[in-house]
Amino acid sequence: MIIQKSTNPRISNFDPENFSFGNMFIDHMIICEYENGKWGDVKLMPYGPLPFSPAMMGVNYGQACFEGMKAYKDKDGQVFIFRPEKNFARINKSANRLAMPEVTEEIFLGGLKALVDLDRDWIPYGEGNSLYIRPLIFATEEALKARIANKFMFAIVATPAKSYYSEPVAVKISDYYSRAANGGVGSAKAAGNYAASFYPTKLANEEGYEQIIWTDDSTHEYFEESGTMNVFVRINDTIYTPPTSEKILDGVTRDSFIQLAKRRGIDIQIEPISVKKVIEAHKNGTLKEVWGVGTAVVTTVFKAIGYQGERLDLPQLPLEESFALTLQKDLVDIQTNVAEDPFGWRVLVEKNILENA
């Protein structure tokens, strides 16, 4: 690893009590370039802009994917990352689907831990606070040719994070737009998936909804995801969530919720969720909760669902009655070292990794 530490660190200007998510970046980043059929040296360097051409193939043809991860700091200042092996496997799954080179474990996990260790002071203390980490791979070859690129970059950047969507949100069930289609790239964290979602979400916003529940592209009769999250539905005391597929992302938070629910003895069914079933459950009073989960949000509880011009209000349950909030607390307590970790999900980031290497 080539290391170039910042000579002008900005950490002294960081106010952990007053910051916004996503537009303030830590002092360093990880860069690794792919050329001539192989990855080069991993570089840990000061965060900043890089020289790219508008003819870069990643911009023109969309070969780009990413991951979302978090690092947490406990009350004693220890730093942990959460299930990083899942993100490592998934970024390579995405890269493979987009005809990009996979990264090695040494590049991904080694670079990740070194970066988090060096900039650990950027991780704010406190409930709901974390460091959001964005590993990404994108094509950098300068060529206006619709083919697989020959040059790529792997990078990791990070930004301090607070919980957002902390208040319940209203969502609209889509009966026209879809997030993904059979044979497409829905199971990959392709950058283009998010760009395609912005316009339908804008339309939903104009109707008073914060997000969309995406439905299947062929019939629009089944839930798939919600916004950028996996979706869960509670009817009576059973939780339902759609199975992953080539259209539904295999979310790390989703999998964690499933395992935590099973550990609590909650009945959880991984099966298709029909719009009809949810609407009928609302009408007969058995629909207790609907929520989304993802790395950035952890959990977003829905207060209302819109469908074909009708707005269906949902119960807002207290923590002791809510499966969504109970499982969220279980997860966050493990992530932040407040509770025991029976699954081995929490990975300690040792201090002074670079000096001890």
* Domain CATH number, residue 111: 3.30.470.10
pTM of the full predicted structure?
0.95
Measured CA to CA in angstroms, residue 298 lies from 120, 132, 301, 330 at distances of 21, 12, 10, 11
Clarify whether residues 150 and 233 are in a common domain: no
45 lies in the same domain as 150: yes
User: Do 156 and 207 fall within a single domain?
Assistant: no
Domain span at 99: 2-162+346-356
- For residues 229 and 242, what is the distance between their CA atoms, to the nearest angstrom? 12
Residues 140 and 181 in one domain: no
For residue 162, give Cα distances in angstroms to 7, 122, 128, 301: 27, 12, 6, 17
pLDDT in tens, 163-208: 655 689 999 999 999 999 999 999 999 999 999 999 999 999 999 9
pLDDT for position 296: 86
Within a domain: 211: yes
From the list 62, 57, 54, 34, the residue with the least C-alpha distance to 145 is 57
Total domains in the chain come to: 2
Q: How many helices (H) and strands (E) does the chain have?
A: 9, 19
Is beta strand 211-215 parallel, antiparallel or unpaired with respect to 169-173? parallel
| pLDDT for the residue numbered 353 | 81
User: Cβ distance 99 to 55 under 8 Å?
Assistant: no
Name, in order, each residue with C-beta under 8 angstroms of 205's C-beta and a sequence gap of 6 or more: none
CATH number for the domain harbouring residue 238: 3.20.10.10
* Domain membership flag for residue 265: yes
How many Cβ atoms from other residues are within 10 Å of residue 134's Cβ? 16
Asked, for residue 115, whether it belongs to a domain, the answer is yes
Question: What is the predicted pLDDT for the residue at 40?
Answer: 98
**Is residue 335 assigned to a domain?**
no
Per-residue confidence (pLDDT) for residue 165, from 0 to 100: 52
The reply to whether 23 and 141 lie within a common domain is: yes
Q: Looking at the structure, tell me whether residues 90 and 152 fall in a common domain.
A: yes
Would you say residue 213 lies in a domain? Answer: yes
Residue 21, judged by CB atoms within 10 A of its CB (0-12, 13-18, 19+), counts as middle
Q: List the chain residues with pLDDT less than 50.
A: none
- The reported pLDDT for the residue numbered 164 is 58
Kindly state whether residues 71 and 175 are assigned to the same domain.
no
Residue 65 CA: distances (Å) to CA of 2, 71, 106, 248 = 24, 20, 19, 15
Rg of the chain on CA atoms, in Å: 21
What local confidence, expressed as pLDDT, does residue 283 receive? Answer: 96
Per-residue pLDDT, 166: 67
202 and 143 fall within a common domain: no
Q: In terms of domains, do 151 and 198 share one?
A: no
Q: How many CA atoms lie within 13 A of 91 on its CB side?
A: 26
Q: Indicate whether 331 belongs to any domain.
A: no
